[in-house]
Amino acid sequence: MTNSLVKNISHYGALLLTVGLTIWLEFILTMEWSSPYCMSQEDGPGYAAFGMPLPYMQFGGASSLQYEFMPHIYLLNLIVLSAIAFPTISWTFDRLSLTVSTRWRTVAGVVGLVLLAARISLLMLSISIKMLIPTLSIGDHYEPYVDFRPVGLCLHDGYYECKPSPYWFPDGWKYDQSK
């Protein structure tokens, strides 16, 4: 590696590590979202949506392992989560810089860069094999995007069942189909 590249990785080490950790933590642990359609599945099953802090992925229902994916919301989620985590990681880097050499800052930056590159590679592969289908909005005419409500944290395994949320939708499905 050139000296300027090492210097840049060291300088942006906290940011690279923050984004790298955030992208993987959100992939492993995310939020499940419910909709009113989960209460009354007259036209077939309803599927959970996933994403934190906003839903960006939902099983399409057409074939196994095919999900609707909103890349713009995914990117917004990563920006928000990284902005929340960055002050803590940056503060830790500043405290450690008094006792830790520049070499460790560079190593942390490289780790963050590798984590980021690995996740982006997996996303690109998933899109190219049509496992993730990019779309502007998840759900269909039975589930407008604004109707999704958080159910709770979950492991990001992409299971299909939608958990009805009596807290958010105590009266069941009240969507007006005449719109």
pLDDT tens for residues 75-108? 999 999 999 999 998 888 777 765 666 777 788 8
E-only strand ranges, 21-148? 29-34, 49-50, 57-59, 67-69, 132-134
Nearest to 32 by CA among 134, 169, 170, 157: 157
- Look up the pTM and report it: 0.84
Q: Over the stretch 118-130, which tens digit does the pLDDT of each residue have?
A: 999 999 999 999 9
Nearest to 26 by CA among 162, 155, 163: 155
Domain boundaries, given as residue ranges, for the chain: 3-155
Assigned token pair, 90: 């940056």
Assigned token pair, 143: 């589930």
| CA–CA–CA angle 155, 54, 175 (5° rounding) | 105
